Every structure is written in structure tokens, then in C-alpha cells.
Chains A and B, each alone.
Chain A
């Protein structure tokens, strides 16, 4: 069994309550922080830990924190990104639902380190049940003197609120999230300025993912070096992976970064192998936005080394033969899955979720969806395949936020690795998805 930092106590009865959570050592980091550590000392430990943002981009958390503009008298904010909407990703919901205090403790300790006096947890609106759980837990924390004025008798005070979204994948993008929190449409902002300088209400702001923040208490309690000792190279610590698709044991697993992909898919500790005795066909390793890889390339790199569950190993080979760890949304496809149909579904998703500000994304995602739809439904032409590649290329790098890339990469990679399947759909439409041809999933916006 690998080291568990976040899920060690997941099965302890009552772990969702303050009482049991504290009995298991919970909130020790708050006591230690406000009584024994300066905010800067905590930032130093986080830097030493090598922790990288768990929301998808993998940016070093300590470095992000050190960019926070402290030269103004404006208030500073910590905003937790609990928008979790990337298809295949369901780790944050699991954590908040089961151990809400892990996030709240992380928010208090991190807010102290950043000098924030008011912090928000932005939760996607669909997760109302999670919002109710968090609000109840926050109430418990206030009553115990862990939130509010003079936390645990110290001079530090903090208010923490939960904010619901309204249903929009784009609000997971950090600047769209801030717009949404200001009561506006979720249109991403141009960067720079980055949130560290111009964030919520134009004030210096840090936006971090739920899992990133929940990792902070352990780092404060045990030190950055102890955290950095777990994992491999620049992929330190543990990572929550939400595994779904055609596997025997879908679920959320905490892994030590550095186990092999093969072990993750086939061992009983994790996915437990491919369901129904079938063969593995492909994997989307880090949420629907990252390149899809066929079996041979997800298990081993192009250099024939075993692929590891780390930021570096998964991206080994660049986009030609590699992918990304991303959000940890691990989607497994068995041999019976149609890549074209899955791609069409993802393209439909991105088109639906484009905020519409930038024309390459607004028009390009719709165009890709249309072309994929006609290939899937038997009206495709051979030229359509290269047309898709060209549309994808013309979205990439030409938009305010990375939703454009998120839509383009899956298409480009699927054609790179599964071109023959697209060709087969054009040449012989009845060969694969015949059962779907007479009835389609109706769209509504």
C-alpha cells in the first residue's frame, strides 16, 4: 500500500464530523500555523515540498504563492477552485463529500500563509449536496473557534464562505471563476495581469484546486522535505486519480506519484484490470482535455520504458507519443469502444461549453463537432479527417484561455493515433457504429 496523505482516514466512521476529524489529528496544522509559524515560513515549506497544482496545469504551488503581490494595502484573497467539471474528473467532489474538514483545514492554514482575511470556496452549482456538507462543516469550525475572530486565541481572523456556480465548465478556468464570483458571466480574462496581482475585485488573489489546498496541512505538519521525499523527481507527493470507463473498479484512488501506469490499470489495489475480460484499447489519462493514447503508448513510452504516473513520464515524447497527467481524470476505453464516437461526444461538449468570446474557439469547436458528427453518422468524406486536423491547429494558441487547446488536443491526438478508425468510418459507415445510426443523442443548449 502506498502512502496516503488525503484518504488515510476516508473509511473512519464519522470522519465527516469535526469531532472525529479532530480525533484523527485534524486541524493540527491550524494550531501549529497560528501559534508557531510565520506566514512566510509556511510558504517556504510549500516551496520545499515541490507540490504542484492539482487542478490540471501542475504549476508549482509555492512559487504561485510567492508571486502574490504584497506591495499594496488591498486585501488579499484565497479562492478555492471546486468547479470540477472536466469530464472524467471526480476526485474533488469525493474528497469534499467524504472529508469536508480536510478542505476547510487547508483553507484556514493556506489563508493564514497568504494573509487572506476572507476566503471563498467556489463550488459548481450542480454540487448543491456538497455545498450543504461544506456549509455544515464550516459552521462546526466557527463554533470551535477555528474560523472567525482570533482563531484558536491568536491574532489571526478569517471568514470562509462557499459560493455556488451556475453550471458552466468554463468557470473552472481561474479568471472565469473570478468573474463568476463577482456575479458576472464566466468569460476568462486576458492575462497578464495574473490573479496574483489583479484577481478577485482587482485584489491580489491565489486560486488553487481543492486537492492542492487539502495537501497543505500535511506539509505544514510534517515539513516540505518529508513531502518531497514521496514521489519521483519533480512529481512529489501523492495524487488523487479518479478512474472510470471500462475497468473493474472505477473510483478515486490516492497514488504515490511514480507507480507504473500498468500497475495502476491492472493491480487489484487500483483499477483491477479491464472489465468483462476485454482488452485495453486506449486511455485518456488526465481529463478529457489531454491527448488520448493507444494501449502500447500509455503502458510504455516511445523509448520502450515503462510509463509512470508522473507529470514527466506521462508527457514523455511530447504530443507525438505522450500525453499529460492533467487533472487526474483517468478514462479507460476497452477494445469495443469507438474512438470516433467518443471524440464526437467530447467535441460536442467543448462546443457546448465554449464561452464564445474568441472566434477560433466559438466557431472552431462547432465546426469540429459538425465534421465529427457527419463522420460518425456515415456521411463523412476522406478530406474531413485532414480538415479536422487543420481546424484543431487553427484553434490552438489563438484564444484567451486554454479551452481552445482543451478542445483541439483530443481531436489532433485521436487522429494521430487512430487515423485508420476514422478512415474506416468514412469508407464503410456500417462497420462500426451502425447501432447508433438510426437514433441520435438529441442536443439542446
Chain B
């Protein structure tokens, strides 16, 4: 392991998380630690997962099989801002589909792809428990909810994110 992702950098937090479970059940800290690793690096390279395995005294495969099961973890490099837009029924009934197409046209990439400048990836996700205020998207690592989305709101959001870079 060459680079350190979280071991030293987030030491106190990691110790605090591990203390929440019985001493012989450290593995319970796996999902929280994967979130921290992704927060630090934007996505989860094998090295980062190996480091998590090392911290929790489990085999690397136990980390890989979990990371690949859950949709929030990115196992490949991905845009700096991952626009996670809900594509489930109730949101589509209030315009989510049209909005996803608008986003594709605006950014010049299809769903699942990343813009050439590496800033944005459009990632469709399933119901975010915001169906009454759809269409909705969120952006990690804060995962703030952007609700009642319109084209204007999207334009504004993308502008703001571009300006911040």
C-alpha cells in the first residue's frame, strides 16, 4: 500500500465508529468506513478498499463484495460532481425523465457518462424518498437534496458548480 487514504487522516472518527459495535464485530463499521474513503477520494480504488480491510481486520474480498453490492459506491473514477437523479415512477410522472434528457443535452453526455472536463457525471438512481417534491437530485459527499427541480434550477446549479472550479 503506497498511499494512505483514511487511516491516519480520519483516525479519531474511525476509532469512534468502531467503538459503536461489540469488540468482535468490527466489520459492522464497513459501510461507514467506505463512505469516508469515498468522501476522501471521490471513488473507491482497490488500494482504498484494501486499507479499509486492514483497518477492520477482514479479508479484502469481504470489502470488495460489499462495495460492489451497494449502489452508492463508485468503483471506477467518476466526475467530481455526481448528479444522482431519481428516475423512479413517481418522479417520472412529474417530469424527471424530461429533465434527465435536458441534463444529457446540456452537458453533452449520456446518463452514466462523465463530461470531458471531469466535472460532471449523470447517474440515475432509484426513489430517494422525496416523491412529493420531485424531480429530485443529490450530489455527494453531502448528498443535499435538490427538490422540485426545474430546468432553471438545474441551469443555476450547474453554473454554480462550474464557477466553483
A346 located at the interface, meaning its Cβ lies under 8 Å from any Cβ of chain B in the complex: yes
Contacts of A126 in B (CB 8 A): 72, 84, 125, 128-129, 138, 143
Q: Judging by beta carbons under 8 Å apart, are A87 and B88 in contact? A: yes
A345 touches B92 (CB 8 A): yes
**Interface-forming stretch among A43-51, A164-172, A217-225?**
A164-172
A120 to B29, CA, bound (A): 13
* A residues in contact with B90, CB < 8 Å: 87-88, 244-245, 331
| Chain A interface SS verdict (over half) | mixed
* Chain A residue at smallest Cβ distance from B31: A166
A125 touches B93 (CB 8 A): no
**Please, which residues of chain B bring their CB within 8 A of the CB of A12?**
none
Interface flag for A89 (CB, 8 Å):
yes
A-B contact pairs, 21 of them (CB 8 A): A88-B131, A89-B129, A90-B129, A124-B129, A125-B35, A125-B70, A126-B72, A126-B143, A163-B31, A167-B125, A168-B70, A183-B27, A183-B30, A183-B66, A185-B66, A242-B131, A245-B90, A288-B88, A331-B93, A355-B69, A441-B100
Counting contact residues on chain B (CB < 8 A from A), the size range is 35 or more
Q: Are the CB atoms of A84 and B129 closer together than 8 Å? A: yes
Complex: A246 Cα to B58 Cα, angstroms = 49
Report which B residues bind A (CB closer than 8 A): 20, 22, 25, 27-32, 34-35, 56, 58, 62, 65-66, 69-73, 84, 87-90, 92-94, 97, 100-101, 110-112, 123-134, 138, 140-145
**Chain A residue, CB-CB nearest to B112:** A444
Interface residues of A, count at CB 8 A = 59
Given contacts A129-B142, A185-B69, A250-B133, whether A345 and B88 have CB atoms under 8 Å apart is yes
- Bound-state CA distance A107–B46 (Å) is 38
Contact A441 B126 (CB under 8 A): no
Q: B143 near A242 (CB under 8 angstroms)?
A: no
Q: Are A90 and B142 in contact, CB atoms less than 8 angstroms apart?
A: no
A109 interface residue per 8 A CB criterion: no
A439 to B34, CA, bound (A): 36
Contact B31–A329 (Cβ < 8 Å): no
Are the CB atoms of B72 and A251 closer together than 8 Å? no
The answer to whether B30 touches A251 (Cβ under 8 A) is no
B32 to chain A minimum Cβ distance, whole angstroms, is 6
Query: Once the chains bind, are B69 and A166 in contact (CB under 8 Å)?
Result: yes
Q: What does the 1/0 interface line of A70-97 toward B look like (CB < 8 Å)?
A: 0000000000000011111110110000
A333 CB-CB contact with B under 8 Å: yes
CB–CB B93/A342 < 8 A: yes
Residues of A within 8 A of B56 (CB): 183
**Seed contacts A90-B132, A183-B31; 14 additional CB < 8 Å A-B pairs:** A87-B89, A125-B143, A129-B143, A164-B35, A165-B70, A169-B127, A186-B69, A201-B25, A288-B89, A331-B131, A346-B89, A349-B127, A439-B101, A442-B111
Report whether A129 and B145 are in contact in the complex, using a CB–CB cutoff of 8 Å: yes
Q: Which residues of B contact A439 (CB under 8 A)?
A: 101
CA distance A349 to B128 in the complex (A): 12
A308 within 8 A of B: no
Q: Chain B contacts of A180 at CB under 8 A?
A: 31
**A126 vs B73: C-alpha distance when bound (angstroms):** 11
Is A290 in the interface zone, CB < 8 Å from B? Answer: no
Kindly provide the distance from the CB of A433 to the nearest chain B CB, expressed in whole angstroms: 11
Question: Which one of A166, A185, A288, A352 has the highest number of Cβ atoms from chain B below 10 Å of its Cβ?
Answer: A166
> Which residues does chain B contribute within 8 Å of A127, judged by CB atoms?
129, 143
